[in-house]
Amino acid sequence: MDKAYSGAVLNAQGRHCTVRRRLPGALRSRPPGPTETPGLMNPLARTGMKDAMAAGLVAQTVLGRMGESDEAAAVALFLASDDSSFMTGSEVFVDGGLAQI
């Protein structure tokens, strides 16, 4: 799905939930960046170009590294907790700055 389109859909859904008050605060997302997990690294390894492809992903991040699954999980836990109860229609990027470049 096109990134701009999916962002527009998320924003529209957030406004709908807020205006209708059916699901206040329920729509939050955590778009991931390159995260060093088997789900990413194993397919890269099958290409025979794992190191080059991983380096290409890392080069696109401001932080210059892959994320760790614990970092993404911490944000997901925050979004699922009462600590994020006043957020609605929000995206919290866990991508090492990839979306901000």
Confidence bin at 87 (pLDDT 50/70/90): confident
Instruction: Write down the pTM of the prediction.
Output: 0.65
User: What DSSP assignment string belongs to 12-42?
Assistant: HHHHHHHHH-SSTT--EE--B--B-SHHHHH
CB 94 within 8 A of CB 87: no
Question: What integer pLDDT is reported at residue 28 of this predicted model?
Answer: 65
Q: CA nearest 25: which of 97, 78, 72? A: 78
Domains of the chain: 3-100 (3.40.50.720)
Query: How confident is the model over 22-67, as pLDDT tens digits?
Result: 454 455 667 778 999 999 999 999 999 999 999 999 999 999 999 9
Question: What integer pLDDT is reported at residue 86 of this predicted model?
Answer: 85
